[in-house]
Structure 1
Amino acid sequence: MKSKNKIIFISCFVFFFLSCSEGFKKTPLDKLMKEFENSDTYSIILNDMNKEGIFFDTFKHKYKVISEKSGKISEKFSPWFEVDKKYFKKYIENLGMELASKGKDGKINKSVSPPGFANYVGNENYGHWVGNGGSSFWEFYGKFAMLQTVFGLMDFPSRRNSWKHYRKNYYGKKKPYYGYNYKKGKVSSRSYGVGSSYYKKKYSSSKWNSKSSNRSFQDKVNNRVSRSSSNSRSSSRYSGGSSSSRSRSGGSGK
């Protein structure tokens, strides 16, 4: 009997251990941050995504890492990483975006942003603003000219107004910044991320964009998120209205 109880105890312990290990499983982002931790700076960009399978879906990510060590800039592409569905959906809007970065001060930033915005654009060690006012754009010095290309700034220059808005309202706050185009004073479209002009130009030949089934999956995810947000706002308004009504009723009874 004791032997049987011992076996049950060991089995439960092993199951618990494996469950905990799964819960702390490192993401591809964690692995890349570890790989490049000795670099002076780095920028990790989601470079492609894919969904495979007929009966069971398999989700994958591929990354591009721009790093600097001893003044030398390097560009490296990761292999395909298999990720779980929840992680995949978390970043489904962020193809072409910077997901994590490290500055020369050693500070790690994991807020989603346009490529280079966290540590390179606006940093006078790497370049300068050309032109006057908020519409001026960022240009890298000749020594760092390759950054202009790897961040896609040749066709889509970084505007000063957009960068300042990011630094003030989004940097380090764990909420994504896609940059925005304005028309008659109102937001008309994103500058970066899935669906933007930047995405359509830079990632038209990506694995993710080449399959209609991938786009259908993305539409479904976006529709669910939109419905969830709408329901949340409606619920909030209803709750607020009920609270207000009770307050007025209580007041009239005094």
Structure 2
Amino acid sequence: MKSFSILLAATAASVLPVSAAVAAPAKNIVLVHGAYADGSGWRGVYDILVKDGYHVSIVSQPLTSLTDDIAATQRVLDKQTGPVVLVGHSYGGQIITDAGADPKVKALVYVAALQPDVGESVIGLAKTMELPNGDVEESADGFLSLASDKFVADFAADVPKDLAEFMKASQMPVAAIAFSEKTKVASWRSKPSYGIVATKDLALNANLERWMYKRAGAKITEIDASHVVFISQPRAVADVIEEAARAVK
């Protein structure tokens, strides 16, 4: 009997940690920025998530093509150990839709983002619902940027003026070809997704956001904010990300 008790205790000791690990929430968060911006915009969300105990990585994709941007995201995913919540803003939503096929990714969070299905592109989705403003300019070599005189009002109206002006001066152009490339894998079809609607979005139609999220069966949160809701209201965005992480089993 004594030997059996020792064996039972040893067995429990070896099984319980594994069970606890399986039930633990995701601790890895990977953040993907959108067009006309860079990874530094995630700083407020990053600080909150790190303080709350998460391991956070930020993708700095080149915005040279959808293929290149997915590859950049995959390189960051390859470095993760354990389950991941993958988060994308704006065009970053298309990136995470494909990159989310990685088996480490257990949930997707779309922040004022595109959530395309297989065969859909940024341009194709934009044509389904009129964009709030026509403020995109194309360079001679095929890169898109937001018109300087409209950037602050249309992209970052609710962030401090000095920050919005800096964002305007440092915006990252995106290759026009990226917006015509089509999604190959809709990872949200097999994984839970969460969608944040920025109700005052003047860069992407808020109704398009709602429509895509509803189609995908995403859990929807509406925040009274501009397109860069993750900058103007980082706590509200972090709350949704953490909700997704806690739900991972």
- Larger RCO of the pair (alpha carbons < 8 Å, separation 6+): 2
Greater strand share, 1 or 2? 1
